[in-house]
Structure 1
Amino acid sequence: MIVKQLNEVVGTEDDIDTPTWNSRRLLLAKDGLGFSMHDTLIKEGTETWIWYKNHVEAVYCVEGEGEIEVVGGEVYPIRPGTLYALDGHEKHWLRATKTMRMICVFNPPLTGREVHDEEGVYPLLADKATV
């Protein structure tokens, strides 16, 4: 059984802070569950270009407000209780009008070292613990 508290992750190497988001990575590939889970803050007044061409992601908003704009598609409002799943590797913009707290799940699981590259992509990294 794995039991963690968010405060055990904050301020560690599993707490990744960027200019537009802060991802507290609760479960990673090394945990061996086949997915990773993150408590992520999308910072107020920011927009982030994202394309998960190597992963699928499900996101559940628990706080804040914003929107997701699918490139070549629709714009969807995000507020507490909104879930979206990027099951088609959609390129998108994520914008926060009020800091959003999101619970995110990735498959394949992240190793914890990923950050978005110039295309908005997380590289597909192997974790030595799972290889």
Structure 2
Amino acid sequence: MIVTDINKDIIGTDREVHAEGGQWTSRRMLLKSDGMGFAFNETIIKAGTKTHIHYQNHLEAVYCVAGNGKIEDLKTGITHDIYDGVMYALNNHDEHYLYGGTEDMRLICVFNPPLTGREHHDENGVYPLIED
């Protein structure tokens, strides 16, 4: 059984990752090394920010539990509001912009394949697929 306290076990450790530009903080609660077959993160998107993301190697489901923002599908140009209770899934490796709204947005994220914890977005918004 895995029991994790985000305040005691994640924040301030190497499992808390920050965007270079300060747009987000990812708190990686379950990683590949935990053996669950998926990764589970809490991500805070800062208000008023814009992040380009294109997970070519991962599928992601995201559930908003606080705050607000928007997601823009770059293929279709369609923008969706995100707020407490909204889930979106990047089931087609959808390239998108994620916008922080008027307040920080708190997201619960699941990745498949699981993250190792060492991933950072590259210049194209992609997380590399790390096998080890």
Regarding TM over 0.5, the answer is yes
Q: Partner residue of 2:55?
A: 52
Q: List, as ranges, runs of 4+ consecutive aligned residues in structure 1 with deviation greater than 2 Å.
A: none
CA distance, structure 2, for counterparts of residue 45 and residue 76 of structure 1: 16
Q: Report matched runs for 1:1-131 at 5 Å.
A: 1-7=1-7, 8-18=9-19, 19-73=22-76, 74-97=78-101, 98-127=103-132
Q: CA deviation at 1:126?
A: 1.7
The 2-side partners of 1:84 and 1:72 are apart by: 16
- Aligned-residue CA RMSD in angstroms? 0.6
What letter matches 2:51 in structure 1? T
What CA distance in whole angstroms lies between the structure 2 residues aligned with 1:104 and 1:110? 11
The structure whose residues are more often strand, as a share, is 1
Letter in 2 for 1:77: D
Total equivalences in the alignment:
127
Q: Secondary structure at the match of 2:97?
A: strand
Equivalents in 1 of 2:2, 2:75: separation in Å?
41
TM-score normalized with structure 1 length? 0.95
What percent identity do the matched residue pairs reach? 53
SS of 1:41's partner is strand
Stretches of structure 1 lacking an aligned partner (at least 5 in a row)? none
Residue 72 of structure 1, CA deviation: 2.6
* SS of equivalent residue, structure 1 residue 38: strand
Task: Provide the C-alpha distance between the structure 1 equivalents of 2:89 and 2:80, rounded to a whole number of angstroms.
Answer: 12
The alignment's TM-score, normalised by the length of structure 2, stands at 0.94
